[in-house]
């Protein structure tokens, strides 16, 4: 094999020319090579001439699986390939979706990127954390960058807890931003700590008292025989009890810092009116690099052409078609938008 670049494929069903199993797939100028991943299986590498066997990639779905507020969600699915012989027999190959596999397949002439995968992402992007997206953005970290007249948001959810990864992408037109400003404060909050009652620590008293009684008792025996033993035991018990008395603590007031600071981005809501997106306070620095001072003050809205309403109407129509807006909600939102013209 002339190239070490390969992808690991899974063939779930036997085909006339290859058995089901897991293989490393290599591409040479004249042949495809399938090498079993299990060296102890006894299977030999299979070399398939490219004139007789064609490798193809199944079409990638272009529509999002769902809409979550401003984001389109594309579920991550295994890359589907097929090997076809000259007689039309097929072998279905499955490849896990990942950057390394995408790069290898790209070098072989196959673009298998999900529709939600950004292909024009700039070298410099920023990470912002959403505190409260108001149903338009999910809580957590998002990658953001400037794309012409819009901000692009992107998240790669690996599905660590659900086992179902996804790509989430969306845009925020700059002209829809009403303001970007700091909100909230760092305040000091009082809270009560309940005290404790005093009393005898029984376990400790028994342990200390027993030990001291033994020591004083033995010492007393040496000096005064039986009477000394009794006196020593009594002294040991009394000292053990005294050292095990615990004083109570009164109720007290303590203070803690409550950080309510955030970066508030007020926007034109997709359904009309205004909505506010709350980010962690550090997001202000990122937005200051992505937007001009005038854009952060919402002045881009004042100069936006009325034709921009078409874009918002199209977004509303998309939400309505997907079932995220009822007929009544769609008509009301459309009326509010048209009323601005």
How far is residue 28's CA from residue 78's CA, in Å, rounded to a whole number?
A: 23
Note the CATH architecture for domain 6-107: Roll (2.30)
Tell me 228's DSSP state.
H
pLDDT in tens, 94-119: 999 988 999 999 999 999 999 899 98
Residue 333 near residue 271 (C-beta atoms within 8 A): yes
- Distance, CA of 151 to CA of 173 (rounded, Å): 6
Tokens of 129: 């954390």
- Cβ–Cβ < 8 Å for 17, 89: yes
Joined tokens for residue 182: 């700091």
Q: What is the pLDDT of residues 238-281, one digit of tens each?
A: 655 566 555 557 888 888 888 889 999 999 988 888 999 999 99
Mean pLDDT of 213-224: 57
Least confident of 196-210, 249-263, 276-290: 196-210
Q: Quick check: do 6-107 and 119-176+268-304 share a fold?
A: yes
Say if residues 278 and 130 touch (Cβ distance below 8 Å): yes
Joined tokens for residue 275: 């909505």
What is the radius of gyration, based on Cα positions, of the chain?
36
DSSP assignment of 121-181 equals: --S--EEEEEEE-TTTS-SEEEEEEEETTEEEEEEEE--TTTS--EEEEEEEEGGGEEEEE
Beta strand pairing status for 53-57 and 79-85?
Answer: antiparallel
Determine the Cα–Cα distance for residues 208 and 204; give it in Å rounded to an integer: 6
Taking the C-alpha atoms of residue 212 and residue 232, their distance in angstroms, rounded to an integer, is 8
CA dist list (Å): 310 to 156, 224, 317: 30, 108, 10
Residue 298 in tokens: 């919402």
What tens digit of pLDDT does each residue of 222-250 get? 555 666 556 655 665 665 556 655 555 78
User: Measured between alpha carbons, how far is 53 from 55 in angstroms, rounded to an integer?
Assistant: 7
Phi, psi of 57 (to 5 degrees): -110, 135
Q: What is the mean pLDDT of residues 162-176?
A: 88
Question: What is the distance in angstroms between the CA of the first residue and the CA of the last residue of the chain?
Answer: 65
Structure tokens at 254: 């303590």
Give CA 287 to chain center in angstroms.
21
Lowest mean pLDDT among 5-9, 118-122, 224-228, 313-317: 224-228
Structure confidence by residue, pLDDT tens digits, 31-53: 999 999 987 677 789 999 999 99
CA–CA dist 244, 226 (Å, integer)? 27
Domain boundaries, the chain: 6-107, 119-176+268-304, 196-249, 306-341
Mean pLDDT of the chain: 83
Q: DSSP string spanning 68-131?
A: ETTEEEEE--PEEEEEEETT--EEEEEE---HHHHHHHHHTT-----TTS-SS--S--EEEEEE
DSSP character at residue 240: H
Q: What is the 3-state secondary structure (H, E, C) of 208-222?
A: HHHHHHHHHHHHHHH
Task: Please give the class, per CATH, of domain 119-176+268-304.
Answer: mainly beta
- Beta strand 126-132 pairing with 262-268: unpaired
Kindly indicate the confidence band of residue 1, based on its pLDDT and cuts at 50, 70 and 90. Answer: very low
Confidence of residue 332 (pLDDT cuts 50, 70, 90): confident
Question: Is pLDDT larger for residue 52 or for residue 322?
Answer: 52
In order of 89, 257, 316, 322, 329, the CA distances from 335 in angstroms are 56, 46, 11, 20, 10
């Amino acid at each position: 094999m002339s190239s070490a670049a390969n992808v690991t494929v899974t063939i779930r069903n036997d085909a006339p020319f290859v058995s089901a199993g897991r293989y490393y797939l290599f591409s040479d100028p004249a042949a495809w090579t399938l090498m079993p991943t299990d060296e102890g299986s006894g299977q030999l590498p299979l070399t398939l001439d490219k004139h007789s066997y064609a490798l193809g990639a199944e079409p990638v779905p272009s529509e999002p699986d769902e809409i979550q507020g401003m984001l389109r969600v594309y579920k991550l699915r295994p890359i589907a390939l097929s090997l076809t012989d000259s007689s039309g027999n097929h072998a279905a190959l499955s490849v896990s979706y990942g950057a390394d596999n995408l790069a290898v397949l790209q070098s072989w002439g196959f673009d298998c990127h999900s529709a939600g995968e950004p292909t024009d992402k700039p070298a410099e992007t920023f990470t912002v954390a959403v505190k409260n997206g108001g149903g338009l953005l999910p809580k957590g970290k998002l990658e953001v960058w400037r794309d012409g007249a819009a901000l692009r948001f992107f998240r790669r959810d690996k599905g660590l807890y659900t086992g179902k990864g996804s790509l989430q992408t969306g845009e925020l037109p700059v002209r829809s931003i009403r303001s970007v400003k700091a909100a909230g404060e760092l305040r000091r909050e009082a809270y009560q700590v309940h005290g404790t009652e005093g009393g005898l620590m029984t376990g400790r008293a028994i342990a200390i008292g027993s030990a001291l009684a033994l020591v004083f008792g033995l010492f007393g025996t040496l000096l005064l025989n039986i009477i000394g033993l009794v006196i020593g035991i009594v002294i040991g018990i009394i000292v053990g009890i005294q050292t095990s008395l615990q004083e109570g603590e009164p109720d007290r007031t303590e203070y803690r810092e409550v950080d309510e600071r955030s970066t508030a981005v007020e926007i034109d809501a997709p359904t009309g009116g205004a909505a506010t997106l709350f980010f962690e306070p550090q997001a202000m620095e990122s937005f200051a690099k992505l937007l001009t001072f005038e854009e952060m003050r919402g002045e881009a809205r004042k100069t936006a052409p009325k034709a921009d309403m078409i874009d918002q109407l199209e977004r509303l129509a998309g939400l309505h078609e997907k079932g995220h807006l009822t007929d009544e909600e769609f008509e009301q939102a459309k009326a509010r938008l048209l009323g601005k013209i």
